[in-house]
Structure 1
Amino acid sequence: MNIDDVLKIFIAESQELLQQMEDALLQIEQNPQDPDLINAIFRAAHTIKGSAGLFGLDTIVSFTHVAESVLDRIRSGELAFDDVLAALFLKVCDHLNGLVSHIAAGLSLDDLDTAAQEQGMSLVASLSQYFAFPLIAPSTADETDAVVAREPGEAPSEHWHLSLRFGPDVLRNGMDPLAFLRYLNTFGRIVHIVTLTEHVPAAADMDPETNYLGFELAFETTASKETIEGAFEFVREDSLIRILPPDSKTVDYIQLINELPEEDLRLGEMLVRCGTLTQAELDDALRKQAEPESPSEPIGQILINEQAVQPPVINAALQKQKQVKESRSAEGNLIRVDANKLDQLINLIGELIIAGAGTQLIAQQSGMAELVESTGVLSRLVEEVRDSALTLRMVQIGTTFNRFQRVVRDVSKEIGKDIVLEITGGETELDKTVVEKIGDPLTHLVRNSMDHGIEPAAVRLERGKPVQGTVRLNAYHESSSIVIEVSDDGGGLNRDRILRKAIERGLVNDGQNLTDKEIFNLIFEPGFSTADQVSSLSGRGVGMDVVKKNITALRGSVELDSVEGVGTTTRIRLPLTLAIIDGFLIGVGKASYVVPLDMVEECIELTSDQSSAARQSRSDYLDLRGDALPFVRLRELFAIDDEPPRRENVVVVNYAGNRAGLVVDQLMGEFQTVIKPLGKIFDNNRALGGFTILGSGSVALILSVPGMISAIAQRQPALSSAAIPTLS
């Protein structure tokens, strides 16, 4: 792994840490004393600072050091989080995000524009106000500044002892040993250092890319052992790092062990929890204990021999261990995978499905029972591989929802309203591709709920509502779709006002009979707005039409429910995945079509007499066991001129509780469908959702059930004007 690969890991992890930091900052406004949230914020800043120091990113190190110092005072109880401090650290988080993004773009931090530099200096000045003494940022001048010697006559103090043996390949891997020494000075000071040169060869035999040096140093700090060890995270595997705590800490460690809760812990777990041992040191000791050539020794004795832990601390842990039972802690393993590689895997599986369908067709045509059976087994295995691969791309929507905590906080302050965000269903999973594309539509809807939906405080009090308004984000599964709801407890939509505006704009005719839902959905028309004033958030008639367009592009639908004076709910339905689905293959004339299998309720044969009765009645409804079922003939919809068969079939589909019938010629069974997008020429055709390639090599169009149901519903025939043919 070269330095560029390591830098990419730093960028990705920093962005994740900053997102965690922002989430914790948004929560801490409601729980300012929560130690877990405070520690999470501190850990994020500390980790970013440490990692940045290894890459010589001094701008990030010095800036984060100032923020970390304030956080350290908060952790110690000298300061308390309030709204002002939380807002300041959100700006700190944004500034760090900007610096990391600058690096991700391949730019140097030395080339920051004036605005970014001034922003950093302004934030440092704001943070410095929280110190009772002048704050000195860590020195990054040159390598010699990393070592601070104690002046003669200065009172001695206890210090950590660090024994550092960097691996010979550390320079080749892009790591500079002196950078680690510089970084130590950001959270402590090096009191004394001895450079070990016994492995340095003669000048003629030296390799400029090989490291020959080791260091023994005395280090003074108030940081934990885990923090010190974290400074060497990138070279831990290739180097020998020993960290010996000050003797004066022994009593403190023993006290911490005695105060541990009565839980089942192993000796090593106790020592790690109380801070006298790091997990890496424990792992090293366990590996040595497991070596076949090593004498069988208790883990405590190995730690003493390695000088990792003082004997009194070991004895205290053994005494504590007598009070509890042994148990093992489970630890999950995560692997970071490039999203492009995952997409490539899904595409290859899609091609495998198409190829498998072709093979199965050939097997059926051959009439060889063994070959048909073999291809059937292969098809089932491919289906299992497909399902497993698709789950790899499934992510929880909660991460996306949590980002709106910041949006709600900032917008509520901007418009002067007290609004809180409530999140439910965050554990609901959907395709990563869908998650990436739903962010902008959700942002529009949340902002609209805050600006148009939630009333001013005076109006809410007058209506008997709490002053604090609520915006809710909810998600749940429905069949093979995910439903996302954005709701508010605001004033709701004014039906008459929307209808009046629509008539003025010529969107509907005066006197036209529309349902409430149809009137509410008019706000998704381009340029439609009922706002009297234009604000920085809304009122120009742009946004809601973009929301619908983006959701439709994802093969989804959007609808509105509203009660005036109570609130509004916008409901988005999206497919769980955009790549591969189970389909139901149907035929009309010589053409083939695919309907998503999860939307198919049942299939019913339509006799020639029933078909003729439907034509003669000129009705768009059939009587399905007492219920009126709207239907559409695909033969008429797609202008197929072939002679219809004597017997047709009705495929009953259901989407979002709305049922409809599709009259077709043939029912051809289930079919694994790889969805491929249609060209832009089909963008305005709501009946089609894509196409797929059959095993024979021919193309079948994929029907968009939501679009077809919507088109059927708009026809609004009069049910009383004709008899409805009955389906048996």
Structure 2
Amino acid sequence: MLDELSETLVELDNVKNNLRRKSQELESGFEVQSLYGFNPVAAGGENIPEQGGDLDEFDPIELDRYSQLNLIIRSLNEISVDVNSIYSTMTSLAGDLRGQVGKQQLTMRLMQDKLMRIRMTPLSSISRFLFRTVRDTARRLKKNVNLNIIGEDVYMDRFVWAKMMDPLMHILRNCVDHGIESNDRRMELGKDKTGSIVLEAEQHSRFVVLRISDDGSGIDLDLVRKKLKAEGLVDDPEALDDKELFSWLFRPSFTTKEDVSQISGRGVGLDVVRRNIQELRGTVRLENNPGGGAVFEFQIPFTLSVNRAIMISVAGRLFAVPLQEIIEVRHFSSDELENGEGVSVQWNDENIPVENLGFYLQLGVSDVCPDTGSEGVLAIIFEAAGGDLHCVSIGSVVEQREIIVKDLGSHLTHVPGISGVTVTPSGSLVPILNLSELVETVVEQPDSKAEIHTELSLNEPLKVLIVDDSISVRHSVARLIESRSWKQRQAVDGLDALAQLESFMPDVIVLDIEMPRMNGYELKSNLNSHGLYRDIPVVMLTSRSSEKHREKARELGVEHYLTKPYQEETFIRLLEEIGTR
């Protein structure tokens, strides 16, 4: 509104100046005509009569004569004065309005700060849950472990703490289970019988850094290599460096544990931790000290409601990118671009491929390589989870501003690469990009850079009912299903599943065996006795791998049986096959 008023004032000032200039030109012309005795000419070619009559006895020096043209000039001068007065009044009002808007903005900032202080809570508000997690896990594993928390007075948004609870508790359980050795083994190694875990919190500008370390055995990278080799995931694990091996620990369903327990090895792990951190627009860093423990470091914005971001244009669409995700925004000239299999740039002695952000956003861009042309490219350099550097080309940077972050609502709980939306002053919704998640979503799907058309995509989205008593498993499977734009509904056991079926008819049911109230076998038996549900395909997803359990499932008509941990690609391929039948 203020911008429009300012533009109106500029236009009014131009009109005022033009009016004054024309009036002066007419006045000068009239004086010349009077001086040389010419009668002014009207638009139709007729002379404009001068004043006469009873005033002829006066000499022009004694009494001014006013022709019609002279009257017009005087009228124009008066109008110019009026316009100038209106302009001055509007300018004064605009100044007052700017002052009022400034006061309102200051008041809004003060209110926002007060609301933020209300939302902020210290680490101590959740510390009792963390102590209990370590204590209960250590008791269950018969280990002596102490947890020391440093920085309990560090504050973050209570919503952020709530989202961090699951990752923190999972890492602490991992430290006790995977990291801290048994009491006897620690004595053999000359360590204190009681293991130590330290959780340290520090405030850094708009971020909070959480660091979890232990004095255990660290990460056995040789065991990771053996697991990769045994499962055929990598042809030559010995060629992988530590950083690449760490990235495998964050892959879905990957675990080095051979046995299945309530604590680990159930098909969910650090991949869930990473996803939760990415949803908070944070980063994860892992350090390893073989024989001396491991360190997990999380860097998280202390609030998600207000953020500074740059507004960028990609393929004619407007997006926001939080500043904390960006290392550098830079224009690379055509001479700086290296062309090989694709386009890449040298940045800080590293060769980074340049990819088109419009391709990842599916904005009608058919090639992942940017169109460099003779002017080069404007690109954003950022660090993805695991420390890999990425470079994506964009159209332009519109502005940098502070944004209010809105979530996507319950109907869009998780859209890969989109962490929320913000509202522009004009009322338009602008998606907020999570570049790290957006790129990794494509990296984790090998065929995603090729245009794929399946029979399933031509029909209605696949509908999946997930029945499992483990919330972690349900959420892990749900995220996987939603990443394919399928629909999902969750149930905590067999009875809940029967209730869900009254309002949700799935194309396939993903079913666990061991659940309270009604287990998987009992639910399948109930479905078989109901004609409407008898033919719904069922995929058993369970930690039970014995032949006896498989045989029981076959007797009930279950054709698909997967054990935890499961391979994500195998699971998705199976659901696609079921959906295209």
TM range (shorter): 0.5 to 0.7
Provide closer, same or farther for how the CA distance between residues 415 and 588 of structure 1 changes in structure 2, counting only shifts above 3 A. Answer: closer
Question: Given the two structures, how large is their TM-score scaled by the length of structure 2?
Answer: 0.53
Secondary structure in 1 aligned to 2:337? helix
Task: Quote how far apart the aligned CAs of 1:649 are.
Answer: 2.8
Question: Partner of 2:421 in structure 1?
Answer: 691
Question: Partner of 1:404 in structure 2?
Answer: 130
Task: Quote how far apart the aligned CAs of 1:685 are.
Answer: 5.8
1:584–1:668 CA contact under 8 A, matched in 2: yes
Question: Partner of 1:315 in structure 2?
Answer: none
Is 1:487 matched with 2:213? yes
Q: Give the Cα–Cα distance (whole angstroms) in 1 for the partners of residues 262 and 424 of structure 2.
A: 50
Q: Give the Cα–Cα distance (whole angstroms) in 1 for the partners of residues 279 and 349 of structure 2.
A: 36
Provide closer, same or farther for how the CA distance between residues 541 and 366 of structure 1 changes in structure 2, counting only shifts above 3 A. Answer: same
Task: Quote how far apart the aligned CAs of 1:407 are.
Answer: 3.2
Provide closer, same or farther for how the CA distance between residues 562 and 592 of structure 1 changes in structure 2, counting only shifts above 3 A. Answer: same
1:517–1:561 CA contact under 8 A, matched in 2: no
1:361–1:696 CA contact under 8 A, matched in 2: no
1:676–1:691 CA contact under 8 A, matched in 2: yes
Is 1:650 matched with 2:382? no
- Deviation track 1:66-103 (CA, whole Å, cap 9, x = no partner) reads xxxxxxxxxxxxxxxxxxxxxxxxxxxxxxxxxxxxxx
Alignment of 1:77-92 (within 5 A): none
Is 1:422 matched with 2:148? yes
Secondary structure in 2 aligned to 1:548? helix
Q: Give the Cα–Cα distance (whole angstroms) in 2 for the partners of residues 520 and 659 of structure 1.
A: 16
Provide closer, same or farther for how the CA distance between residues 459 and 633 of structure 1 changes in structure 2, counting only shifts above 3 A. Answer: same
Q: Give the Cα–Cα distance (whole angstroms) in 1 for the partners of residues 364 and 221 of structure 2.
A: 44
Greater strand fraction, Structure 1 or Structure 2 = 2
- Deviation track 1:333-359 (CA, whole Å, cap 9, x = no partner) reads xxxxxxxxxxxxxxxxxxxxxxxxxx5
Provide closer, same or farther for how the CA distance between residues 460 and 555 of structure 1 changes in structure 2, counting only shifts above 3 A. Answer: same
Question: Given the two structures, how large is their TM-score scaled by the length of structure 1?
Answer: 0.43
- For 2:127, the aligned partner's letter is F
Provide closer, same or farther for how the CA distance between residues 529 and 634 of structure 1 changes in structure 2, counting only shifts above 3 A. Answer: closer
- For 1:649, the aligned partner's letter is L
Larger radius of gyration: 2
Is 1:701 matched with 2:424? no
Is 1:578 matched with 2:308? no
Is 1:450 matched with 2:176? yes
Task: Quote how far apart the aligned CAs of 1:560 are.
Answer: 3.0
Is 1:637 matched with 2:366? no
Is 1:623 matched with 2:346? yes
Number of residue-to-residue matches in the alignment: 355
Question: Partner of 1:667 in structure 2?
Answer: 397
Provide closer, same or farther for how the CA distance between residues 629 and 507 of structure 1 changes in structure 2, counting only shifts above 3 A. Answer: closer
Q: Give the Cα–Cα distance (whole angstroms) in 2 for the partners of residues 401 and 615 of structure 1.
A: 51
Alignment of 1:203-218 (within 5 A): none
CA-based RMSD: 3.8
Is 1:431 matched with 2:157? yes
Q: Give the Cα–Cα distance (whole angstroms) in 2 for the partners of residues 450 and 680 of structure 1.
A: 35
Alignment of 1:185-196 (within 5 A): none
Unpaired runs of 5+ residues, structure 2, are: 11-90, 366-370, 446-581
Secondary structure in 2 aligned to 1:604? strand
Question: Partner of 1:551 in structure 2?
Answer: 277
Provide closer, same or farther for how the CA distance between residues 364 and 678 of structure 1 changes in structure 2, counting only shifts above 3 A. Answer: farther
Question: Partner of 1:592 in structure 2?
Answer: 318
Unpaired runs of 5+ residues, structure 1, are: 1-358, 716-728
- For 2:215, the aligned partner's letter is D
- Deviation track 1:117-142 (CA, whole Å, cap 9, x = no partner) reads xxxxxxxxxxxxxxxxxxxxxxxxxx
Q: Give the Cα–Cα distance (whole angstroms) in 2 for the partners of residues 698 and 644 of structure 1.
A: 30
Alignment of 1:17-32 (within 5 A): none
Question: Partner of 1:391 in structure 2?
Answer: 117
Q: Give the Cα–Cα distance (whole angstroms) in 2 for the partners of residues 606 and 523 of structure 1.
A: 35
Task: Quote how far apart the aligned CAs of 1:490 are.
Answer: 0.8
Task: Quote how far apart the aligned CAs of 1:430 are.
Answer: 0.8
1:644–1:665 CA contact under 8 A, matched in 2: no
Task: Quote how far apart the aligned CAs of 1:619 are.
Answer: 5.0
Task: Quote how far apart the aligned CAs of 1:666 are.
Answer: 1.9
2:337–2:376 CA contact under 8 A, matched in 1: no
Q: Give the Cα–Cα distance (whole angstroms) in 2 for the partners of residues 403 and 550 of structure 1.
A: 18
Identity, % of aligned positions: 28
Task: Quote how far apart the aligned CAs of 1:379 are.
Answer: 4.0
Alignment of 1:553-568 (within 5 A): 553-568=279-294
- For 1:634, the aligned partner's letter is L
Task: Quote how far apart the aligned CAs of 1:414 are.
Answer: 3.2
